[in-house]
C-alpha cells in the first residue's frame, strides 16, 4: 500500500501573534509527522520549490531555514535534513497531485499535509494530515481499498502499530476469499484491538481476563470472549511468534473476537504481550481466519 503525501506550502503561514514557544511546539509536531511517514519506503512526502517562497512570521522561509538561530536550531537542522534527503522534489508530479487532490478518487493514494496552519477548506478532511494520529487515519482509509491479501497483511504493522502478527497469519487470512469482501469488518476489529485493548488490559486486568474482554466488547461494539476450555487452548490455540532475536516462541491466544455475529467462524485470536516478547508491540495476534480447531 503506497501513499503519497503532498505538502501544502501555503499552510507554512503562521500567525504573527504566535509566540516562539508555540511555533516551536507546532514545528515539532510537524516534524514528528514527517518522521512517522519517511520511515516507510512505501510512503513519500512531495513538495514544490514554491515552499521556499513562503513566509514564516514575516520572514521568507528559505532565509529563515538557513539562518542560525539558537532557539530553533534543532528544528531547523532536522527540517533541512528531511527536505534535502527524504522529501521528493518532483515539481511536475506535485502539481499533478495538487490538481487531483480534491477529486473523490484518484489512481494513487494521496493525502495532504498541513505544516503550521490547518486550512480546512483546501482539501477534504478525510485526507488531511495535521496531527500524527492523522497518519493512521489515512492509512486505514486506503487499506480499506486493498484487494490483495499479502499486501493487506504486510500493511498491518504500519496501520496498526500496537499489533504484532504471528508467523502464520498471512496463511490463515486465506479464509477471507476474496479479502475485499471482508476488509471493512477486519479493519473494524483490528482498529478496536489497536486502539483499546492495551488500555483496557491495564485498567481491568486485576479483575481477570473475562472482565477485560467484556469491557472491550462494550467499548468497541465488537464481540469478544476468552476460550473457556484449557485443553483446547493448549492443543489448538498456541501460535508461533518471532522475537527480536529471530527465535520462535509459541504463545497461547485464548481471547478472540468474532467477526459479523456471535456464532461466526471468522475469528481473530490475540493476547497481550506483557513483556513476553520485549521490544515488540503490545498486542500479539496469532490467528486471523476461520475457526482454528474442529
pLDDT tens-digit readout, 138-150: 999 999 999 999 9
Residue 125 lies in a domain: yes
Q: Is it true that the peptide bond before 178 is cis, omega within 30 degrees of 0? A: yes
Residues 23 and 95 in one domain: yes
Provide the β-strand partners of residue 46. 6, 88
How many whole angstroms separate alpha carbon 112 and alpha carbon 33? 12
**Structural contact between residues 115 and 11, judged by C-beta atoms closer than 8 angstroms:** yes
Provide the 10 A C-beta neighbour count for residue 180.
Answer: 15
Residues 102 and 161 in one domain: no
How many whole angstroms separate alpha carbon 271 and alpha carbon 285? 7
List the single range of 57-61, 166-170, 185-189, 276-280 with lowest mean pLDDT. 57-61
Angle (CA) 101-106-109 rounded to 5° is 80
- Determine the structural domain holding residue 59 and report its residue range: 3-142
Residues 117 and 160 in one domain: no
Residues 193 and 268 in one domain: yes
Residues 231 and 117 in one domain: no
How many whole angstroms separate alpha carbon 260 and alpha carbon 263? 9
Residues 6+ away with beta carbon under 8 Å from 88: 44, 45, 46, 47
Residues 106 and 174 in one domain: no
**Structural contact between residues 138 and 3, judged by C-beta atoms closer than 8 angstroms:** yes
Q: What is the pLDDT of residue 229?
A: 86
90, 115, 142 - which closes a domain: 142
Secondary element (H or E) of residue 203: helix 198-204
Residue 149 lies in a domain: no
Residue 150 lies in a domain: no
Residues 133 and 166 in one domain: no
**Residue that the C-alpha cell 504463545 belongs to:** 251
Q: Is the pTM of this model over 0.75?
A: yes
Each residue of 64-102: pLDDT tens digit?
999 999 999 999 999 999 999 999 998 888 988 888 887
Q: What is the pLDDT of residue 119?
A: 87
Residues 76 and 123 in one domain: yes
Please, which pLDDT band fits residue 28 given cuts at 50, 70 and 90?
very high
Provide the β-strand partners of residue 52. none
Residues 163 and 122 in one domain: no
Residues 7 and 119 in one domain: yes
Query: Which spans in 70-193 are helix H?
Result: 73-85, 91-100, 133-143, 149-159, 169-172, 183-192
Beta strands in the chain (DSSP E): 3-8, 43-46, 55-56, 59-60, 110-114, 128-129, 163-165, 223-225, 238-242, 248-252, 256-258, 267-272, 283-289
How many whole angstroms separate alpha carbon 56 and alpha carbon 72? 13
Calculate mean pLDDT across residues 30-45.
Answer: 96
Provide the 10 A C-beta neighbour count for residue 229.
Answer: 13
- Set of cell numbers at residue 88: 521528493
142, 169, 199 - which closes a domain: 142
Residues 88 and 200 in one domain: no
Number of domains within the chain: 2
Each residue of 212-246: pLDDT tens digit?
999 999 999 999 999 988 899 999 999 999 999 99
- Set of cell numbers at residue 234: 493448549
Residues 8 and 134 in one domain: yes
Residues above pLDDT 70, as percent of the chain:
98
Q: What is the pLDDT of residue 83?
A: 95
Q: What is the pLDDT of residue 104?
A: 59
- Set of cell numbers at residue 176: 477471507
Please, which pLDDT band fits residue 103 given cuts at 50, 70 and 90?
low
Amino acid at each position: 500500500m503506497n501513499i503519497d503525501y503532498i505538502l501544502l506550502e501555503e499552510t507554512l503561514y503562521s500567525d504573527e501573534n504566535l509566540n516562539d514557544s508555540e511555533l516551536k511546539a507546532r514545528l515539532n509536531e510537524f516534524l514528528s509527522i514527517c518522521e512517522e511517514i519517511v520511515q516507510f519506503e512505501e510512503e513519500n512526502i512531495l513538495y514544490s520549490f514554491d515552499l521556499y517562497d513562503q513566509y514564516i512570521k514575516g520572514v521568507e522561509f528559505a532565509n529563515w531555514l538557513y539562518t542560525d538561530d539558537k532557539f530553533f536550531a534543532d528544528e531547523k537542522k532536522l527540517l533541512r535534513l528531511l527536505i534535502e534527503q527524504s522529501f521528493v522534489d518532483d515539481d511536475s508530479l506535485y502539481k499533478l497531485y495538487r490538481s487531483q487532490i480534491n477529486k473523490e478518487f484518484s489512481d494513487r493514494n494521496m493525502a495532504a499535509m498541513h505544516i503550521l496552519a490547518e486550512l480546512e477548506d483546501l482539501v477534504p478532511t478525510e485526507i488531511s494530515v495535521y496531527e500524527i494520529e492523522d497518519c493512521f487515519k489515512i492509512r486505514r482509509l486506503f487499506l480499506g481499498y486493498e484487494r490483495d491479501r499479502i499486501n493487506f497483511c504486510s500493511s498491518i504493522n504500519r496501520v496498526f502499530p500496537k499489533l504484532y502478527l504471528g508467523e502464520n497469519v498471512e496463511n490463515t487470512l486465506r479464509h477471507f476469499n476474496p479479502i475485499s469482501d471482508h476488509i471493512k469488518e477486519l479493519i473494524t476489529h483490528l482498529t478496536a484491538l489497536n486502539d483499546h485493548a492495551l488500555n483496557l488490559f491495564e485498567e481491568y486486568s486485576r479483575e481477570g481476563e473475562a472482565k477485560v474482554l467484556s469491557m472491550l466488547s462494550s467499548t468497541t461494539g465488537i464481540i469478544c470472549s476468552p476460550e473457556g476450555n484449557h485443553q483446547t487452548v493448549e492443543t489448538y490455540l498456541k501460535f508461533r511468534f518471532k522475537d527480536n532475536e529471530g527465535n520462535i516462541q509459541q504463545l497461547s491466544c485464548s481471547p478472540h473476537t468474532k467477526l459479523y455475529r456471535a456464532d461466526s467462524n471468522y475469528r481473530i485470536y490475540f493476547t497481550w504481550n506483557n513483556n513476553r516478547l520485549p521490544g515488540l508491540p503490545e498486542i500479539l495476534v496469532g490467528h486471523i481466519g476461520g475457526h482454528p480447531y474442529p
